Amino acid sequence: MSVYHTSDFRKGLKVELEGEPYIMTECNFVKPGKGQALYKCKLKSLIKGSVLDRTFKSDDSLQAADVRESQMQYLYRSGDNFVFMDPDTFDQPELTPEQMGDTAKWLKDGLNCNIVFYNERPISVDAPNHLVLEVVYAEPGARGNTATNVTKTAKVETGAEVQVPIFINQGDKIKVDTRTGEYIERVRE
């Protein structure tokens, strides 16, 4: 297992701390007037999502986390779990609703997702940042209601609800940002 010294620290680095994988979300070099240089880092847990603030001295080091990412295709639900398939090896890992988090509401059959593995066990899933989804239910817009930024709730084919402009109707296809759940634009074919 490789080791990262403080000179290697940077945003996006995946390290192991207290037996758990973390990703560095921020790393700042601080050189006080007297004494040793410091590295102030924010670390986000890849399993729990919690954030730690840690300060490291210039001679500290951290173990590299055994983390890998793999593109996999969503297949189906098996009870409460979600089954994915690796297109190269045909392995089919199952993820729990806790591991899925908010990503579960964007899944549709055949969707390619990025799965993060720690010590060869799946720990989290990321859907593509933008998806084109069909609106399966939307209240009709009130005619003449032309005030800016008027929105309504629409239900898309995956079951998720999205705030959309008043002109979106059932059957329309919309582009959605899966990270925030926000409407981006109507898609015309």
Would you give per-residue pLDDT tens digits along the chain (189 residues)?
A: 688 888 888 888 889 988 889 888 899 888 888 888 888 999 988 887 788 899 988 888 888 888 888 999 999 988 899 999 998 888 898 888 888 888 888 888 889 999 888 888 888 888 888 999 999 998 876 665 555 678 888 999 988 899 998 888 888 999 999 888 898 998 887
Sign, CA torsion 140/142/146/152? negative
pTM greater than the 0.85 cutoff: no
**Residue 115 shares a structural domain with residue 155:** no
| Same-domain check for residues 31 and 73 | no
Asked if 115 and 94 sit in the same domain, the reply is: yes
Domain boundary among 89, 105, 126: 126
The pLDDT score that the predictor gives to residue 32 is 81
User: What is the distance between the terminal CA atoms of the chain, rounded to a whole angstrom?
Assistant: 50
The predicted structure's pLDDT at residue 74: 92
Residue 102's pLDDT is what? 83
Domain's final residue, options 126, 150, 177: 126
Q: What is the pLDDT of residue 31?
A: 84
Q: What is the DSSP string of 59-94?
A: T-EEEEP-EEEEEEEEEEEETTEEEEE-TTT----E
Does 91 lie in the same domain as 72? yes
State whether the Cα torsion 136-137-141-147 is positive or negative: negative
Domain containing residue 162: CATH number: 2.40.50.140
Q: Which of 80, 103, 126 is the last residue of a domain?
A: 126
Pull the structure tokens for residue 189.
């074919």
Together in a domain, 78 and 111 = yes
**Domain total of the chain:** 3
Shared-domain flag, residues 10 and 52: yes
The number of C-alpha atoms within 13 Å of 133 and in the hemisphere containing its C-beta is: 30
Residues 110, 159 within the same domain: no
- Per the structure, the complete domain to which residue 37 belongs is given by 3-64
